[in-house]
Amino acid sequence: MNNAFTTISGAKRHNRVTISDMAAALGLTKSTVSRAMNGYPDISETTQLRVKRMAEKLSYQPLSHAQAIKTGRTRSLGLILQLSDHDAQRPFLAEFLAGVSAGAHNEGWTLTIAASENHEDMIETFRVLLRDGKADGFILPRAMRDDPRVRLLREAEVPFVLFGRQDDDTDCAWFDILGEDAMRNAVMHLVALGHTRIGYINGGTQYAYAGLRKQGFLQGMADAGLPIDPDLIAEDAVTIKDGAEAASGLLDSMHPPTAIVCAVDFAALGVYRAAAERGLTIGRDLSVVGYDGIPEGAHTQPPLTTFSVDNKSAGERLSNILIRRIRGEDLTNLRETDMATFLDRGSTGPAPSSKN
């Protein structure tokens, strides 16, 4: 540890253009350059223009961590991924990251991420990143109902944006996909195929999306004038195994469904498994609709009919919203939604004629 400071030569001290270089080149002082760059009102229009032109010419960019020492802000977004739950987040991670990164990069921001195993680590990581000013704001994937991260960030008065909506929206910026619309459309699609006994397998009820999607399903059933059979509704299925177990419950009930809507694709794959065990052919004996658009869904037999989410675009918009939030934009402009895209593949078909 004693010789810890004899390090490899860091980045070549490229003659980076500093604010002093700018000042010298313009015949101004550092302070004027700084205020011009930051658009202070006490700098004349013409001077500001001169400065910015020169910045362009010399390709001057203030060093973010030099600014940070005074301002506390470092032009970087924080993203904390919780990886303990093997949830549906993983297949999208690459796209999502690509989007978030692109959104940040577009504005000249960077992205610092921390992946934590469990909840305690995640909170601790938040603390450290906040304390050390490693991020000016946070993107919170997978909004939970009564989210502890939200409480923490609110308390600390740190900007954040949710992927998903929360019950208590006050001072929350968010972006979300209208999963409830998708669920309702799923029901309508099945009804059009003649199904009347439609089951529903919900996702993790700790997450905000579950309530919404379930509402969407119920709404669809109501719209179609179909009754709700509590035996045909399951909760908390986020893995294939969960889905298989939930589906088993529905299929072994007194009056099994002819179709099942799943809040999560993995659960839908579980339905495949449960169906196979019972000799049921998906798309003929049993229709299944999923949600998420995971890649595996394209390779199953038959391919899964589902709603696909553009996670890259979601990430990009989240970055964008967060940056605007940090810049102090009004909250009302910082709540956006998008729709999932229906992929009509092979896992749905006409309701089998009842020959029970």
Partner DNA sequence: GGCCTTGCCGAAACCGGTTTCGGTGATCAA
Partner DNA sequence: TTGATCACCGAAACCGGTTTCGGCAAGGCC
Q: Which is nearer to DNA, 129 or 262 (CB)?
A: 129
Nearest 10 degrees: Cα torsion 30, 31, 34, 35? -150
**Partner whose binding site includes residue 110, from DNA, a copy of itself, none (CB under 5 to 8 Å by kind):** a copy of itself
Name residues contacting DNA, limited to 64-123 (CB under 7 A).
66-67, 69-71
Query: Please, what sign has the CA dihedral across residues 315, 154, 117, 180?
Result: negative
Interface mask (CB under 8 A) for a copy of itself, residues 63-82, using x and -?
A: xxxx-xx-xxxx-x----x-
Q: Is 106 helix (H, G, I), strand (E, B) or coil?
A: helix
Q: Is 198 helix (H, G, I), strand (E, B) or coil?
A: strand
Under rule CB under 8 A, residue 136 binds a copy of itself: yes
Among 11-19, 138-146, 210-218, 250-258, the segment contacting DNA (CB under 7 A): 11-19
- Identify which of 60, 139, 73 has the alpha carbon closest to the alpha carbon of residue 321: 139
- Selected binder of a copy of itself within 20, 110, 118, 333 (CB under 8 A): 110
Contact 176, 163 (CB under 8 A): yes
**Partner whose binding site includes residue 295, from a copy of itself, DNA, none (CB under 5 to 8 Å by kind):** a copy of itself
**Closest CB 58 distance from DNA, rounded Å:** 11
**Partner whose binding site includes residue 20, from a copy of itself, DNA, none (CB under 5 to 8 Å by kind):** DNA
Contact 101, 320 (CB under 8 A): no
Under rule CB under 8 A, residue 2 binds a copy of itself: yes
Report how far residue 7's alpha carbon sits from residue 27's, in angstroms, rounded to the nearest whole number: 38
- Selected binder of a copy of itself within 183, 310, 325, 340 (CB under 8 A): 325
**Partner whose binding site includes residue 83, from DNA, a copy of itself, none (CB under 5 to 8 Å by kind):** a copy of itself
Helix H or strand E encompassing 187: helix 179-192
Report how far residue 100's alpha carbon sits from residue 121's, in angstroms, rounded to the nearest whole number: 22
Q: Which is nearer to DNA, 18 or 112 (CB)?
A: 18
Name residues contacting a copy of itself, limited to 274-313 (CB under 8 A).
295-296, 299
Name residues contacting DNA, limited to 19-58 (CB under 7 A).
19-20, 27-32, 34-35, 37-38, 42-47
Residue 345: CA count within 13 A, CB half-sphere = 22
Contact 170, 331 (CB under 8 A): no
Counting beta carbons within 10 angstroms of the beta carbon of residue 254, is it exposed (0 to 12), middle (13 to 18) or buried (19 or more)? exposed
Give me 61's structure tokens. 């960019």
Q: How far is CA 335 from the centre of its chain?
A: 13
Q: Which is nearer to DNA, 22 or 232 (CB)?
A: 22
**Partner whose binding site includes residue 196, from a copy of itself, DNA, none (CB under 5 to 8 Å by kind):** none
**Closest CB 346 distance from DNA, rounded Å:** 57
**Closest CB 128 distance from DNA, rounded Å:** 14
- The site for DNA, by CB under 7 A, has a size of 30
- Identify which of 88, 83, 84 has the alpha carbon closest to the alpha carbon of residue 306: 88
Preceding omega of 256 cis (within 30 degrees of 0): no
- Selected binder of a copy of itself within 12, 46, 279, 355 (CB under 8 A): 12
Report how far residue 217's alpha carbon sits from residue 185's, in angstroms, rounded to the nearest whole number: 8
**Closest CB 158 distance from DNA, rounded Å:** 17
- Selected binder of a copy of itself within 36, 51, 114, 237 (CB under 8 A): 114
Among 19-27, 133-141, 189-197, 242-250, the segment contacting a copy of itself (CB under 8 A): 133-141
- Count the Cβ atoms, other than its own, within 10 Å of residue 65: 11
Contact 64, 74 (CB under 8 A): yes
Report the interface residues with DNA, using CB under 7 A.
5, 13-14, 16, 18-20, 27-32, 34-35, 37-38, 42-47, 62-63, 66-67, 69-71
